[in-house]
Amino acid sequence: MEKTEIIQWVEAAAVRAVKTAAQAAVGVIGATTYMGGVDWALVASTAALSAILSLLTSVAGIPEVGGGASVAKLAKHAKAE
C-alpha cells in the first residue's frame, strides 16, 4: 500500500460526502411545498451533517480504494513502507 492510496481514499470519501450532502439537501428541499417555504438554514445544516456522517462511515473503508480497506489499514501499510 502506498501513500497514494490514502490520497485516493480522501478523494473518494470527499466525493461520497458531497454526493450524500446533495442528496440530503434535495430531500429537505423536496419536502417543502413551495420555494418560499424552504428553510435554507435547515437545508445547509442537514447537508453538512450528512457529509460528516458520510466521512465517518467511509473511515471503515470504501470499495474504491485498497479493496475496501479501512483508513487505519491504509495508513498502517503506508507507514510500514
**DSSP state at residue 63:** T
Q: Residue 30 above 90 pLDDT?
A: no
Q: Report the amino acid identity of residue 26.
A: V
Cell for 19?
454526493
Residues 44-56: pLDDT tens digits? 999 999 999 999 9
Q: Is-above-0.95 flag for pTM?
A: no
Residue whose grid cell is 419536502: 31
Tell which phi-psi region holds residue 66, choosing left (phi > 0), alpha (psi between -120 and 50) or beta. left
Secondary structure of 46-80 in HEC code, one letter for each residue: HHHHHHHHHHHHHCCCCCCCHHHCCHHHHHHHHHH
